[in-house]
Structure 1
Amino acid sequence: MSKNLELKKVAVEEIKERFTKAKSAVLVDYRGLTVDEATELRSKFRNAGVEYKVYKNNLVKLAIQGTEFEPLSQDLTGPNAIAFGIEDAVIPAKIVKDFAKDHKALELKAGIVEGSYCNLEDIIKIADLPSREALIGRFLGSVKAPVSNFAYFLSNLIKEQESNA
């Protein structure tokens, strides 16, 4: 077996491992970014716990064959980079969308989030969702509100009964 083929097999295994660990993968076209802009983007990803890699399209296609990420194969044309959401599925889309506002050269293409294929429009909608912490806060607030209102009602009822007695 040739050394080149062996290296490609190792690369495919590395890519498979990345996809296996990921809750999401967002595909971007990075053409036109300057070195400084690309470095800034990588820094944002690193600070958020997102892995950002550039791989050859053919190797990625081989790695995702038969996985939930296989639908991305149709979008693997031209130079691409992949942002892997390991801890949070939504963070890669948020970072790319925010970064693309100021850097028009960066383009979102598609992604897989929690096992579902998302085209460009879907990824943008996901990026606009509030953070996980904000959603949990809203949920807890909505759960707490009826209990607080009931406690307030009981407190006033007790005060009223004490003043009448």
Structure 2
Amino acid sequence: MDRTEKREFVASLASVFAETSMVVVTRNAGLTVAEVTELRRRMRAAGASFKVAKNRLATLALDGTRFEGIKPLLKGPTALAWSRDPVAVAKVAVEFARTNEKFVVLGGALGAQALDASGIKALSELPSLEELRAKLLGMLQTPATRIAGILQAPGGQIARVLAAYAKKDEAA
């Protein structure tokens, strides 16, 4: 890379850090191209991104962002994963690390809060944003169906009483 390409890369990475909520730092020494491609495919499916970046350029891009706490993790063969949904990127990274010994989650940052590997693992065990939305929607809909059932019950009872009187009158 020449200087202008490096500047553009640092600027694009800095804009990514400004827009995202979660960054995970991983060690990816010895991964094959097929394994990295599979990891990128999983990240994309979860709405996350995965990029191998030179540590020096990533450090420059981190300057002035809320993710400066991850600078000490940028040593050796590292890669960055990020997403707006913090749980999604953590889930994919931890799940891939379980199945691949060469891929190690070093840590990351959720906003200005730096996390170690155990913090990322704990975050990955939380329900995703979509799961939380579904649960919230279910909780909101449940009272509405109960209210509708309660409102319909008196009308049904009145109809049954009237039907019983009608049958009584017919029999008499």
Establish whether TM, by shorter chain, passes 0.5: yes
Larger Cα-atom Rg: 2
1:15 CA displacement: 2.1
What does the per-residue CA deviation read over 1:119-153, in whole Å, with 9 as the maximum and x for residues that have no partner?
A: 22221122122222221111111111122112212
Whether 2:109 is the aligned partner of 1:112: answer yes
TM-score (norm 2): 0.81
1:59 CA displacement: 2.0
1:74 CA displacement: 2.2
SS of aligned partner of 2:86: coil
Match runs of 1:24-103 below 5 Å? 24-86=22-84, 88-103=85-100
1:5 CA displacement: 5.0
Identity level (%): 31
2:137 to 140, 145, 150: 140
TM-score (norm 1): 0.84
Deviating beyond 6 angstroms after TM superposition, the runs of 4 or more aligned structure 1 residues are none
What does the per-residue CA deviation read over 1:28-85, in whole Å, with 9 as the maximum and x for residues that have no partner?
A: 1111322321221122223444221112222222221221111111222221100121
Which AA in structure 1 matches 2:102? A
8 Å CA contact retained: 2:67, 2:111: no
1:103 CA displacement: 0.8
1:114 CA displacement: 4.3
2:156 to 134, 155, 159: 159
Q: For residues 156 and 98 of structure 1, do their structure 2 counterparts lie closer, same or farther at Cα, with a shift above 3 Å needed? A: same
- In structure 2, how many angstroms separate the alpha carbons of the residues matched to 1:27 and 1:145? 41
- In structure 2, how many angstroms separate the alpha carbons of the residues matched to 1:23 and 1:51? 12
What does the per-residue CA deviation read over 1:91-112, in whole Å, with 9 as the maximum and x for residues that have no partner?
A: 2211111111211221111122
Unaligned runs of 5+ in 2: 163-172
8 Å CA contact retained: 2:69, 2:112: no
8 Å CA contact retained: 1:24, 1:115: no
Range with bigger deviation, 132-141 or 109-118: 109-118
Which AA in structure 2 matches 1:23? S
- In structure 1, how many angstroms separate the alpha carbons of the residues matched to 2:67 and 2:61? 9
- In structure 2, how many angstroms separate the alpha carbons of the residues matched to 1:47 and 1:164? 57
Paired residue for 1:130?
127
- In structure 2, how many angstroms separate the alpha carbons of the residues matched to 1:134 and 1:10? 37
Alignment RMSD, CA only? Answer: 2.2
